Amino acid sequence: MHTQAYLDRTPKDHAGRVEKLYDLGMSYHKRYCRIGDIEDLETSIQRWQEALNILPDEHPDQADLLSILGIGYQDRYKRMSTRADLDMAIQKYKEALDNTSPNHPYRAKPFDGLGEGYHARYNTTGAMVDLDIAIQYYQNALDATPKGNQKSNAQSNRTYRLGTGYLKVAIHYCQKAIDITPKDHPSQELQFHTLGRLYHDKYNKTKVLADLEIAIQQYQKAFDIVPENSPHCASRHCSFGFGYRQRYEKTGIAADLEKAIQQFQKGLDHSLSPPLDRLKSSKVLFTFYIEAKNWKSAYQAASAAVSLIPLLTSHSLEISDKQYLLTNVAGLASDAAAIALMADRTIYEAIQLLELGRGIIVGSASDLRADISHLHQKDQQLAERFIELRDHLNNSTRQTHQINHHQLPTGLTGPADQRYSTARELEQTIRAIRALPDFDRFLLTPSEDELKLAAVSGPIVFINVSDYRCDALIIEKHKLQALLLPHLHSNDVRARATTLGNLDELDMSLLEWLWNTIAEPVLNTLGFIEIFGDSWPRIWWIPTGPLTKFPIHAAGSRNSSVLDRVTSSYSASIRALVQSRQRRSKAKVVPEEGKAVFVGMERTPGCKRLPGVPKEIEMLSRLCGSTKFQVTRPQTHRSDVISALQDCRIFHFAGHGLTDQENPSNSSLILSDGLLAVASLFELNLHNHAPFLAYLSACGTGEIKQDSLTDEALHLISACQFAGFQHVIGTLWKVNDETCIETAAKTYEWMIRENMSDNSVAEGLHKASRQLRAQWLSESAARTAARVSERMAGTYNEDGPPTTEQARSSQGTARDPRTAELYEDPPLYWVPYVHFGI
């Protein structure tokens, strides 16, 4: 660009530099709007910020520059979904207003930007206050807009944003704007598309075919002039596709169905559009193919869709941004894996889709902590560059000047700018690493040989739940196999999931259902049929979707059980299991030595007292006191606990857990002065000494209540694994106070007996669960005998126990108290304890 050449020759204090920077930024922004290259958008933001930096305070052009910067950040938010960019856009628009007089006609632009900004914030948070603010700013923008073309265009756009209740007014002003806009004006494409959407919304409300016909006509007019490389193309194709699909549904004309499929395919294939816009097309597309039983085409569309999921979550995004984006693809990987099997693809391809499309947040963060010792030997410079960039991303508060050899582009000063620029350079570095010999799979999903190697200690079993079919995908050290589970149905899984965690509704029927539909078929296929005595084979379960909430390890009837045949562990993914084992192989410590950190919270502000906690901590202190462990019981303040974790070998927490239903990264262990949340544990990096065990003796430490994020495994167990713990024991839901003591005692006794070997953790919990289950069976049989005896004697009380004292004597105090009735089956308190790890 000529302007760039001029800038290169212009002194930094030259009077015309601001104007040239502004013009150059506009040129890059126009090119971004035309061809969709994110680099152009980034450069435009840099140039505008640089111009603003050298502009004198209270300069008359300051408000215009601030508004333009707001547009740049808002466009990047639309592309990347980074909440910090949206916040920055809102900030710039507000600064623009502050620098504009109340009666200045220019105020419409920042008012409109603020309306759009708060509207976008409402769409992510659902907070009505944001929508109210957006509506007020839109009204302010309308009031401040001069009459004429701009007024009509503004009124059409802003009334459209206010919702379908404004459709009639919005259509009027949009048509008026089109009528008076010169041909070939840059805003024409948006005007045509907006008018199409308005009529499309009107059709959805009225079901009058004429409205849909007009919508399709307007979409076509927009397509006739939109640049082929525009970043808006996928969104436009998707709108067009829905128009044809709905006309097909209304009229039955087969040509419309073909046109709809073509439009959705074009939307999926448009590589310069945002991944989320492309995903919208892909999900509709493979649904079409499934309805037509065209499994080959369905697989191609589903596979393409899953490959887009990692692109949604750039390394520059914060966890909260990633969570919001991933709610749009819940269950997609499982559906794609099911479709792969329907299309007769290989089992490896189905597993690869599950690995690629699940556990995105933890997986991408774990990649930044991957062992790169081999890379360091191959290319020291690339390895050091990778470490430098990942460390900056892992510590977003670090100042720019602390990054050696790394200069952020001039003008980028905000945290979002720094993270985006660093993430972009990290992605370039990863591509360079993959170009090295033998590093072509660096940070990619495991190869088929790597999958089999991961199963060297025992089979790994995905239980894939989809509306299309349910399967066990079994990985053994010598082969992969798929087992169709004909009696497992996704609707049943979702329905049963609603009752989990309610101890009053949990009974043996759930465990029997898990046994009949999943566990017994899988174990029989693996040849784990006989009941073992003192030694059990290992198995790792990887359930998907809502099945992640279920205790497959406890499946069984009163006569047969998973506990009788195998020792169960869980993992969120193959990659998580492989990385844990790699950390273990690098750890140069003796497992049965080091610091054991015990934190007990008998009394927690705002929560019920847990009288069993002191007993649990005292018991563990005695057990570990007989070993080489140094028992440490820090103050129960957040800073003290985090400090104690830095060099511990064992971390045991007994107290209250909190599962955040809306934001899983806020799920926490409750301490005296606050919360130790999933997000806080993500910030810890204990990998250098790879601590042995985190035992979380609290409610719901492995629980996710937000259904759209169950595949992300964002819970306290996975957070401890991510922090560096080789093994984690936690719970799937609420737990009983006394049972916590018994489970911990039996588990630690076995671990100490086995010198804290890796197998001892899963084995210890397995043995504890077996003993508690045996006690449960014995007590259940005794209660059944009592009922039979009293029925025969005619003294049975159908309403429950005859006395309050008998009811009290049945269970005692609970970490999650409930009234236990003497004649019911005892509660299944032994069920929710699980092991994650190697």
- Residue 295, pLDDT > 60, answer yes
Q: Which residues pair with 801 in a beta bridge?
A: none
pLDDT score of 26: 92
What totals of helices (H) and strands (E) does the chain contain, helices first? 34, 14
Task: State the average pLDDT for the chain.
Answer: 86
Query: What pLDDT is recorded for position 590?
Result: 55
pTM over 0.85: yes
Q: Is the confidence at residue 147, as pLDDT, over 70?
A: no
Cα 625 to Cα 603: distance, rounded to the nearest angstrom: 25
Distant-in-sequence, close-in-space partners of 294: CB < 8 Å, separation ≥ 6: none
Confidence tier at 367 by pLDDT (50, 70, 90): confident
Lowest mean pLDDT among 137-146, 257-266, 337-346, 715-724: 137-146
Residue 74 banded pLDDT, cuts 50, 70, 90: very high
* pLDDT above 50 for 153: yes
Dihedral sign computed on CA atoms, order 763, 700, 817, 606: positive
51: nearest Cα among 61, 60, 39: 61
CATH no., domain 579-773: 3.40.50.1460
The band of 410, judged by pLDDT with boundaries at 50, 70 and 90, is: very low
Q: Which residues contact 124 (CB under 8 A, 6 or more apart)?
A: 83, 86, 324
pLDDT, mean of residues 673-692: 92
Average pLDDT over residues 807-832: 57
Share of the chain above pLDDT 70, in %: 87
> Which tokens is 201 given?
């919304």
pLDDT in tens, 175-209: 887 888 888 877 788 889 989 998 999 999 999 99
Q: Give domain 455-570's CATH architecture.
A: 2-Layer Sandwich (3.30)
DSSP characters for 701-723? TT----GGGGGGT-SHHHHHHHH
**Residues 762-807: pLDDT tens digits?**
999 999 999 999 999 988 888 777 766 666 666 555 555 444 344 3
- Count CB neighbours of 587 within 10 A: 17
Radius of gyration of the chain (CA): 30
Question: For position 99, what pLDDT does the model report?
Answer: 87
Name residues whose C-beta falls within 8 Å of residue 194's C-beta, 6 or more positions apart in sequence. Answer: 156, 157, 160, 174
Please indicate whether residue 808 or residue 54 has the higher confidence score (pLDDT): 54
Please state the rounded mean pLDDT for residues 26-48.
Answer: 89
Three-class secondary structure assignment of 100-141: CCCCCHHHHHHHHHHHHHHHHHHHHHCCHHHHHHHHHHHHHH
Which residues, at least 6 apart from 300, have a Cβ–Cβ distance to it below 8 Å?
Answer: none
Could you tell me if 454 and 575 are in contact, meaning their C-beta atoms sit under 8 angstroms apart?
no
Tell me the average pLDDT across 209-234. Answer: 91
Contact 551, 832 (CB under 8 A): yes
